[in-house]
């Protein structure tokens, strides 16, 4: 099961490439704005321990922090329809402003989106599809025992792509298909003010904004010759070996 996303990518690329009119390869990078659940601080009366601050129960909403991603993409086009597999390394970051010190939540993962899109015109395209995620780390500052998390997830991407020649701007939304479950955590009270807390269940979501650069494209209608005419004003042909 661990190799299913990679197998699907290879299979779909082979199937779509057989009848593709154009193949385009490039790199991309950008910023992420993700959502995680609340942290529920347990006060003195409900078992939070002695000297916790505040003494009553309290919900802490997560605060936005800047995170980023970078990766590669392959665009396989035929007429108005295209298949777009990607491989992206993604970092995610949020924070909880606890009473004595802010606790930072961090995660890293490898994303493999497999997107099916429609080209509206030469500039605008829309797309959607599943993203297979392999989560490497998930940490919260001050937690005395590791956070439990599922290492593999399947989410959904949908977005719009705006092209300017070989450059593009990509804006998409990621929706979590399965919720991240509630769990109890123990925090270092002397530093953060919280001793016992709950990370409440939530559905992951994320806004992803990136820029992309197409490094080269292959026009399969012209005997698989590399064509940079639209980008550089001249043809450079690559003769098949």
| Structure tokens that stand for 46 in this block | 């409900």
Task: Provide the CATH topology of domain 21-39+62-191+202-232.
Answer: Porin (2.40.160)
pLDDT-derived band at 66, boundaries 50, 70, 90: confident
Is the CB of residue 21 less than 8 Å from the CB of residue 220? Answer: yes
Q: Provide the 10 A C-beta neighbour count for residue 168.
A: 20
| Structure tokens that stand for 165 in this block | 């020649």
pLDDT-derived band at 17, boundaries 50, 70, 90: low
Q: pLDDT tens digits, residue range 158-216?
A: 999 999 989 999 999 999 998 999 999 999 999 999 999 999 999 989 999 999 999 98
| Structure tokens that stand for 144 in this block | 């005395």
Q: How do beta strands 167-176 and 183-186 pair?
A: unpaired
Question: pTM above 0.85?
Answer: no
Where would I find the H helices in 24-93? none
Lowest-confidence pick of 75-79, 112-116, 139-143, 157-161: 75-79
């Amino acid at each position: 099961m661990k190799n299913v996303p990679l197998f699907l990518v290879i299979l779909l690329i082979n199937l779509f490439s057989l009848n593709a009119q154009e193949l385009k390869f490039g790199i991309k990078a950008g910023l992420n704005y993700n959502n995680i659940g609340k942290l529920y601080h347990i006060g003195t009366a409900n078992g939070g321990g002695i000297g916790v601050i505040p003494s009553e129960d309290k919900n802490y909403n997560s605060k936005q922090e800047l995170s980023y991603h970078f990766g590669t993409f392959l665009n396989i086009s035929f007429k108005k329809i295209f298949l777009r597999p990607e491989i992206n390394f993604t970092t995610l970051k949020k924070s909880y402003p606890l009473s004595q010190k802010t606790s930072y939540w961090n995660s890293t993962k490898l994303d493999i989106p497999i997107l099916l899109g429609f080209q509206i015109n030469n500039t605008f395209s829309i797309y959607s599809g599943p993203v297979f995620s392999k989560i490497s780390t998930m940490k919260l500052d001050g937690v005395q025992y590791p956070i439990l998390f599922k290492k593999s997830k399947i989410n959904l991407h949908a977005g719009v792509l705006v092209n300017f020649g070989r450059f593009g701007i990509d804006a998409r939304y990621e929706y979590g298909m399965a919720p991240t479950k509630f769990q109890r955590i123990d925090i270092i009270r002397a530093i953060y003010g919280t001793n016992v807390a709950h990370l409440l269940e939530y559905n992951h979501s994320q806004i992803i904004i990136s820029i992309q650069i197409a490094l080269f494209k292959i026009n399969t209608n012209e005997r698989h010759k590399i064509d940079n005419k639209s980008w550089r004003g001249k043809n450079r042909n690559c003769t098949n070996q």
